A = this chain, B = another copy of it.
Amino acid sequence: MDLASLVGLVMCFILVIFGIVFDGGSIVVSNLTSFVDIPSAIITFGGAFCCILIMCGDFKDFINKFKTASKVMKIQQNEVIESIKTLIQFSNIARKEGLLALENQARDLDDPFLRKGLMLIVDGTEPELVSGIMDTELQATEARHKDAIGFWENIAAMGPAWGMIGTLIGLVNMLKALDDPNSIGPAMAVALITTLYGSLLANWIATPMASKLKSKSQEEIMAKEILVEGILSIQAGENPRVIEEKLKSFLSPAQRDEFGDER
């Protein structure tokens, strides 16, 4: 589990609770009851998610995209550095024993993208075709990532929109019945709660989710670009030293130090 994201999510929740119960210097736990309003939650979250459902147009798609949230929580490893090491190792094997010697290595790989690439060069596919197939897959992956990011960005837009719709409904109801001046305050408080819910949905959940998926996607795409570069270099029979130099260009100075240390 990705600890920092979880800590951030939980801390935001605690901060909101704190902001609610801390009232004029003392803790007033009963304040919490003013902030739990089921009908407001129904209209804000219901409206936002039903609109997302219209956009998806497919229950399975809707649920699958929600599941991308779990991806955000996965711990991230030093995959990039591992990939480069694997590629250099393979380039050494290919140099000494020929491309065919990679077949057994490739079969044991977990990563389907790397496995596919290696199988293509073992099969003697032409370099342009290998490059074309890998690029198409890269672009299709990127398009799927963008889709998932767009899903959360849509939630981030729909939350405040339906929060405002809820507030407008509450205000109209309140203004139509302005008989009792004492009821204005509480009625307006209820009307504002949908706006608060919508803001929280957008800024606590959806925007951070979209933002994190975006950076995870960038990392995954870069890792795949390194694999494509490496596979094509192995196929071209380039010198392992040169391949290492080439692939290390993708790394940040910090990662390069780590790369050197681990060797």
Q: Is there a chain B Cβ closer than 8 Å to A98's Cβ? A: no
Q: Are A15 and B46 in contact (CB under 8 A)?
A: yes
A185 contacts across to B, CB distance below 8 A? 174-178
Q: Are B212 and A57 in contact (CB under 8 A)?
A: yes
Q: Are A43 and B57 in contact (CB under 8 A)?
A: no
Q: Are A165 and B57 in contact (CB under 8 A)?
A: no
Number of interface residues of A (CB under 8 A): 106
Please judge, given known A-B contacts A46-B11, A132-B246, A189-B176, whether A5 and B53 are in contact too, CB under 8 Å: yes
Binary interface encoding of chain A residues 36-52 relative to chain B, with 1 for a CB under 8 A from any of its CBs, else 0:
00010011001100111
Please judge, given known A-B contacts A16-B165, A19-B166, whether A186 and B175 are in contact too, CB under 8 Å: yes
Q: Is there a chain B Cβ closer than 8 Å to A184's Cβ? A: yes
Report the bound CA distance from A11 to B62 in whole Å: 15
Q: Are A56 and B202 in contact (CB under 8 A)?
A: no
Q: Is there a chain B Cβ closer than 8 Å to A137's Cβ? A: yes
Please judge, given known A-B contacts A2-B58, A120-B245, A200-B165, whether A172 and B143 are in contact too, CB under 8 Å: no
Q: Which of B16, B46, B125, B175 contacts A189 (CB 8 A)?
A: B175
Q: Is there a chain B Cβ closer than 8 Å to A133's Cβ? A: yes
Min C-beta distance of A117 to chain B, whole Å: 11
Q: Is there a chain B Cβ closer than 8 Å to A101's Cβ? A: no
Minimal Cβ-Cβ distance residue in B for A218: B143
Q: Which of B175, B196, B229 contacts A192 (CB 8 A)?
A: B175
A-B contact pairs, 24 of them (CB 8 A): A3-B59, A4-B59, A4-B62, A8-B50, A8-B51, A8-B55, A9-B54, A11-B46, A12-B54, A16-B43, A18-B43, A23-B173, A31-B173, A54-B212, A55-B211, A112-B253, A129-B242, A133-B249, A140-B252, A175-B192, A176-B186, A178-B182, A178-B184, A178-B186
List 11 other contacts, CB 8 Å, given A51-B208, A140-B250, A175-B185.
A4-B57, A8-B51, A11-B53, A18-B39, A19-B170, A35-B172, A125-B242, A136-B249, A137-B249, A143-B218, A165-B200
